[in-house]
Amino acid sequence: MSFRIDPTKNSALAFLLGAALVGGGLGFTADRLVTRNRVCPRWGDDAAMRRRFGDELGLSDAQRSAVDTILNAKHRAIAALDKPIRPQMDSISDDATKRLRARLDAGQQVTFDRMHAEVLARRRADEQGEQR
């Protein structure tokens, strides 16, 4: 007894398998993007990330201090590079925000405004932390 799948069914099976793999990958990615703040409360929580980094590597107090010095210098250098182009980037973001908001109904705009305010508050808190 031989088992044969005709070429049409073989193509359909390959397509379905590919669609399932792509759908699974996209679903996983979307889930990570949507739930990351619940899984990892704050991506930019510098103190928590540095603590975890030090804990997982088993760094001594002297090593942790050196790591903090290196990372603080890195953040200052990046902030210096960012400063001259920040107004242009903010302008692009503001334009996109206005264009997105214009596509929403009144109820969606209320939710969007709340979400946008949360993002701006986080950004201000991050900037305050970087200035210290």
Cα angle 47, 42, 108; round to 5:
155
- Sequence letter at residue 4: R
Give the model confidence (pLDDT) of 116-127 as tens digits: 999 888 888 877
pLDDT at 2: 64
**Residue 21 falls inside a structural domain:** yes
Q: What percent of the chain stands above pLDDT 90?
A: 41
Mean pLDDT of the chain: 83
Structural domain that includes position 48: 44-77
- Please state the domain count of the chain: 3
Q: Which of 83, 67, 88, 73 is nearest to 127 (CA)?
A: 83
**Residue 2 falls inside a structural domain:** no
**Residue 1 falls inside a structural domain:** no
pLDDT band of 3, cuts 50, 70, 90: low
Give the model confidence (pLDDT) of 72-117 as tens digits: 999 899 989 989 998 998 899 999 999 999 999 999 999 999 999 9
Same domain, yes or no: 91 and 115:
yes
